[in-house]
């Protein structure tokens, strides 16, 4: 299968190139670098609201605790 290197647009072949779809190891690593440096931005807006949903009860709010025996 023939393709073009997504990094430098050089033609590359899956049968002869171990770094396919990249033309070389250099371009493969470059692509990895792009990912890790967040050059590729996902077009989906992601709202990362990490609200603490399951926090422990407030010790001040122990009103229905009067049934407990000591």
Stretch that binds Zn ion, among 7-15, 34-42, 43-51, 52-60 (CB under 5 A): 7-15
Q: Looking only at residues 19 through 58 of this chain, which bind Zn ion when binding is defined by CB under 5 A?
A: 23, 27
* Among 2, 4, 8, 40, contact with Zn ion (rule: CB under 5 A): 8
In the bound complex, what is the minimum distance in angstroms from residue 36's beta carbon to Zn ion? Answer: 18
Contact 25, 19 (CB under 8 A): yes
Which residues of the shown chain bind Zn ion in the complex (CB under 5 A)?
5, 7-8, 10, 23, 27
């Amino acid at each position: 299968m023939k393709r073009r290197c997504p990094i430098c647009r050089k033609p590359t072949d899956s049968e002869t190139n171990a770094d396919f779809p990249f033309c070389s190891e250099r371009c493969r690593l470059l692509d990895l670098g792009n990912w890790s440096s967040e050059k590729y931005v996902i077009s989906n807006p992601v709202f990362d609201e990490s609200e603490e949903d399951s926090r422990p009860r407030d010790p001040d709010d122990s009103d229905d605790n009067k049934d407990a025996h000591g």
